[in-house]
A and B are shown apart, each in its own frame.
Chain A
Amino acid sequence: MSDRDEPALSMSESASLERGYRRLLACYPRWFRQENEEEVLAVLMTCAQEDQARPSFEAAADLLKGAARMRLRPRPGQPRTVSAAVRLLYLGALAELGALLTIIASAGTVKAAVAHGDPAGVPGASGRILVDEILAPVVIVVWLCLGWAIGRRRDAARIGVTAFFGLITMTMLAALSADSPVYATADFAAGMVLWLISLASMVLVFTPASNRYFRPESAPMVSPAG
């Protein structure tokens, strides 16, 4: 039973089915495809039904789910510190997106509250909200790019993570030194979460295990005793 041959498919059916599977397998990370694509394809073709010319919905959904899981998994040889940093950087993007949605959803309430307490402060509050709404998408892209680059072993990205942490720190200090607006508490809490995520990411990419991963040639040589 385990030595089943591929089902009888016409040349065009077989070629069409294989093309469909290859398109789905393209969603997997490159390292996985290099290692496994031909083998997975052989299994998929063996599992095909007679006269099948396209991947079934069930098989397609299963492959897409597998691709998503594989992309979230550490690459072979990647230390846990680096994979944790990648996940944190993506989490930072998600947190920033949450903050942006909160800003958009609460903009009207904030403006009303400012108008109630200090009508003259409305233009300033509106301007600050607008700046946040413009900057947040840019910051989300930065989080994503850093996560992507760290995951692909780009050493320069570690400098980027450090610079980004410095930028977030300065933004936080600037916000703390300024007069607090009405929504200061929530704003401060969101800022602290993002600051802690960037701090943890920076620490993780500079651990000894991460250093050996990013710069294997400069790892300290252990001289033999004696």
Chain B
Amino acid sequence: MQEATFLILTALAAGTQHGYGIISDVADISGGRVKLLAGTLYTALERLRTDGLIGVDREEIVDNRLRRYYRLTPAGEERLAAEAARLHSHATAALRRLNLNLAGGVA
């Protein structure tokens, strides 16, 4: 799973979000490192909708502009949980080895 996709699903894990909300949340989650542009966001959202990982929750008109809210589907939650567990496992392995190497270097 690409990083942008992972971050979009993570943004939606806390609740429904509209397009600009996802962009802001992804920037927050990544500490400002990932700044999604609209073209990238909607390419990802369209793919995630096709794959059944997200769905449209509701639509609103705000200041004469369409605002569509997205939510994670059960399949999306499952996929995000699996990906998070995989990344966590890799990160844990990396940190454990670094600690071992550091301990070996000191000893």
B38-A2 in contact (CB<8A): no
Considering the complex, which residues of chain A in the window 5-62 have a beta carbon less than 8 Å from any beta carbon of chain B? Answer: 5-6, 32, 36, 38-47, 58-59, 62
A interface, by DSSP: helix, strand, loop or mixed?
Answer: helix
Tell me which of A39, A41, A43, A69 has the highest count of chain B C-beta atoms within 10 A of its own C-beta: A43
A contact residues around B42 at 8 Å (CB): 36, 39-40, 43, 66
> B32 to nearest A CB, angstroms?
12
**A6, B62: Cα distance in complex, Å:** 11
Q: Is B57 an interface residue (CB 8 A)?
A: no
Would you call B46 an interface residue if the criterion is a C-beta within 8 Å of the partner chain's C-beta atoms?
A: yes
- Of chain B, the residue at the smallest CB distance from A65 is B39
Main secondary structure of the interface of B (DSSP, over half): helix
Q: Interface size of A by Cβ–Cβ distance < 8 Å?
A: 30
Of chain A, the residue at the smallest CB distance from B68 is A39
* B52: interface (CB < 8 Å): no
* Category for how many chain B residues contact A: 20 to 34
Nearest-Cβ distance from residue B86 to partner chain A, whole angstroms: 25
B24 touches A1 (CB 8 A): yes
**Distance to closest chain B CB from A64 (angstroms):** 8
Cβ of A63 and Cβ of B38 under 8 Å apart? yes
Q: Is the CB of A43 within 8 A of B23?
A: yes
- CA separation between A2 and B68, bound complex, in Å? 13
List 6 A-B pairs, minimum CB-CB distance, nearest first. A66-B39, A2-B21, A42-B65, A62-B39, A62-B37, A43-B19
